[in-house]
Amino acid sequence: MPTPTENHGDRRPLALILLAATIVVASAGLGAAVNSVNGAVSPLYFRQVLGWDDVSDVWRASIAQGIFEGLLFGLAFSLIFTLVVGLVSKVRYPYGHGLAYVLGIAACAAACWAVGGLTAIALASLSPEFFRHTFHHVPEATGDMLRYAWVGGSIWGVEIGGFASVIFGSVVFWAKWRQGERRKPA
């Protein structure tokens, strides 16, 4: 199988379109997965933060919210990464290789989801007063507060971590592509 830099004249615009679509779908799927857990952990978070007092099934609504937000973030992340891949490779990068980057970026974003949730729990445990004064609508009961902290922290973790992962993945792609271009015969 040729490396991404061997077929110098082969433009692959369809591969870029598929890569962009894959990023959007992966982001929506990650949003659904994240909020399927978060909606079960703390429905109170969604009621408090999103004002869902009249929502009868918060868990299902939280999944829909995760898909919606995942689509929005996915569009932005897709634009960034696909532009980098398209510009750097001059539209010559095969879809399968790009998919490996997307999976790595999604895995990093998922890890950031867990780190964000655990960090927020640690912060709330370390100083409940600070946590309650810094964030809005934090419940008074310790268990509710810790579940609320998980959800808020994990959402920030996946969103900020997703952005950082896309930037990091773009830089790694650029560096590897450039390294491959230097190695090609003149």
**Any idea which residue has 């004249």 for tokens?**
9
The 3 state secondary structure assigned to 113-159 is HHHHHHHHHHHHHHCHHHHHHHCCCCCCCHHHHHHHHHHHHHHHHHH
- What average pLDDT score do residues 125-137 get? 95
pLDDT score recorded for residue 10 = 82
Contact 22, 99 (CB under 8 A): yes
Q: Which residue has the higher pLDDT, 181 or 152?
A: 152
**Any idea which residue has 């933060």 for tokens?**
49
Question: In degrees, to the nearest 5, what angle opens at C-alpha 146 toward C-alphas 140 and 151?
Answer: 115
Q: In the predicted model, is pLDDT for residue 5 greater than 90?
A: no
- What average pLDDT score do residues 30-49 get? 97
**Any idea which residue has 């990068």 for tokens?**
93
Distance CA 163, CA 80 (A): 10
Q: In the predicted model, is pLDDT for residue 7 greater than 80?
A: no
pLDDT score recorded for residue 9 = 60
Q: Which residue has the higher pLDDT, 84 or 186?
A: 84
pLDDT score recorded for residue 185 = 57
Distance CA 87, CA 173 (A): 11
Q: Which two tokens stand for residue 37?
A: 């857990």
- What average pLDDT score do residues 100-126 get? 97
- Domain-wise residue ranges, the chain: 13-183
Angle between helices 142-183 and 13-41 (to 10 degrees): 160
Q: Where are the alpha helices (DSSP H) in the chain?
A: 13-41, 43-50, 58-89, 95-126, 128-134, 142-183
pLDDT score recorded for residue 2 = 46
pLDDT score recorded for residue 129 = 96
**Any idea which residue has 């950031």 for tokens?**
112
Question: In degrees, to the nearest 5, what angle opens at C-alpha 29 toward C-alphas 23 and 32?
Answer: 145
- What average pLDDT score do residues 42-47 get? 97
Percent of the chain with pLDDT over 90: 85
pLDDT score recorded for residue 4 = 52
Nearest to 135 by CA among 75, 143, 123: 123
Q: In the predicted model, is pLDDT for residue 64 greater than 70?
A: yes
**Any idea which residue has 């230097």 for tokens?**
182
pLDDT score recorded for residue 89 = 93
**Cβ neighbours for 154, distance < 8 A, ≥ 6 positions apart:** 34, 37, 38, 113, 114, 116, 117, 120
Model pTM score: 0.87
